[in-house]
Amino acid sequence: MAGAKKDQSRGRFITFEGGEGSGKSTQIKTLAERLNGAELRTIVTREPGGSPGAEIIRHLLLSGMGKLLGPEAETLLFAAARDDHVHAVIEPALEQGIWVLCDRFFDSTRAYQGRLGKVEPAVLNAMQRVTIGDLKPDLTIILDVPVDIGMQRAAARRGDRAPDRFEAEDVKFHEGLRDAYRQIAVAEPQRCVLVDANAAPGVVAARVWTSVRDRFLSHDVSKVANLA
């Protein structure tokens, strides 16, 4: 089980969440560049995936194989991928003082499998205890876009490629997802920031940066002066 020792030398753990086409990849990349510019060692990773073992499970999940097994088994596959990712990549990096930016984490399981797959909270809590223990993101940025905009962006990004298992779900699914994320933001305001992502990437990046700076860097005048 992963522990979560909080000390100043430990890296920060920031997760990005949101529906399809919410712009997570672009925003994570921009934030990583800014943090590296502030001489904070930073890695970018993703779920499902992020470690060799978890990337194999990602392939299975996005192919739709997990869906055939049913929501609980699909959730177990996400949990297995997370377990490997946390132990192989996230925890070791945080221990070394590296900031970890992760494209999706347990809120995706809560929104997709919990809310939409109707997997019981007790089951999700049990899996969470086993895979991540006390590890929680220090900050979760939830990028919020209207469903039609997100789906258009996702289709443009995909080009000729067929939609994956979740992109292929209908508008009602994606509306439910947006709602689930908004509820997570309301339920955990200490950890989560809901960012309006229906704007140009640079505008959204400024909103994300403000959240990160205010939370972690406002005490460090030299870093803020370099980057504000």
Residues of this chain that bind ligand TMP (CB under 6 A)? 46-48, 78, 103-104, 108-109, 112-113, 166
Min separation Cβ 115 and ligand TMP, Å: 10
Kindly state the tokens that stand for 31: 């934030």
Min separation Cβ 46 and ligand TMP, Å: 6
Kindly tell me which of 27 and 109 has the beta carbon lying closer to ligand TMP.
109
Q: Where are the beta strands (DSSP E) in the chain?
A: 13-18, 42-46, 99-103, 139-144, 192-196
Kindly tell me which of 155 and 206 has the beta carbon lying closer to ligand TMP.
155
Q: Is the CB of residue 31 less than 8 Å from the CB of residue 14?
A: yes
Cβ burial of 225 (10 Å; 0-12, 13-18, 19+) is exposed
Helix (H, G, I), strand (E, B) or coil at 144: strand
Min separation Cβ 88 and ligand TMP, Å: 16
Kindly tell me which of 88 and 227 has the beta carbon lying closer to ligand TMP.
88
Kindly tell me which of 34 and 104 has the beta carbon lying closer to ligand TMP.
104
Q: Is the CB of residue 139 less than 8 Å from the CB of residue 28?
A: no
Min separation Cβ 166 and ligand TMP, Å: 3
C-alpha–C-alpha distance, residues 224 and 74, integer Å: 43
